Amino acid sequence: MIEINNIAKASIKEKLFKQVGEEILDKENIQEEVDISVAIVKEQDIKTLNKIYRDKDEPTDVLSFAENSNFIFPIEGTKQLGEIIICPSQVKKAKEKISEVFIHGLLHLLGYTHKFEKDSIIMEAKQKKYLTFFKKYGSE
């Protein structure tokens, strides 16, 4: 299940993001039921989290915290894949789309990284492929 908490009251199509996220999980062969939390937050909120968890005193467009990270989940007893935190104002400043950073964050939760060039190439290819799912279900 993908839960979206739109704290920033941004204009997003929650159903579309849930559909795309579920299809990505399916294509990545995630067989078990997992919970993913997506928080759409304001700039100050993501800046605070970025400072706490990455020691960077600045806002960013997206943060992702996999289940095995040091992020503390407020809901216990659920099988969590992780949390994706998106800041729409930072996404806009970076001239990106929320769909792009959502997929980027989800791929991180699935274990993809861009630490090395070969990993980055794989992650970018998957991100590009999965962006087409937004067109399949409708535009963001």
Whole-angstrom CA distances from 102 to 51, 55, 77, 118 are 21, 22, 25, 21
pLDDT 10s digits, 68-100: 655 445 555 456 788 999 999 999 998 888 899
DSSP 72: P
Please give the pLDDT value at position 8.
Answer: 92
Q: What is the mean pLDDT of residues 33-58?
A: 92
Query: Mean pLDDT across the chain, nearest whole number?
Result: 87
Residues 102-126 pLDDT 10s:
999 999 999 898 888 999 899 999 9
Q: How confident is the model at residue 136 (pLDDT cuts 50, 70, 90)?
A: confident
Q: What is the pLDDT of residue 82?
A: 87
Position 46 pLDDT exceeds 90:
yes
- 8-12, 28-32, 94-98, 129-133: which range is least confident on average? 28-32
The sheet with strand 62-66 has its strands ordered as 2-6, 35-40, 80-86, 62-66
Q: Are the beta carbons of 24 and 106 closer than 8 angstroms? A: yes
The domain made up of 2-137 has a fold known as Collagenase (Catalytic Domain) (3.40.390)
Is residue 32 pLDDT above 90, yes or no?
A: no
The Cα angle at residue 132 between residues 112 and 31, in degrees rounded to 5 = 50
pTM for this model (two decimals)? 0.84
Q: How far apart, in Å, do the first and last CA atoms of the chain sit? A: 19
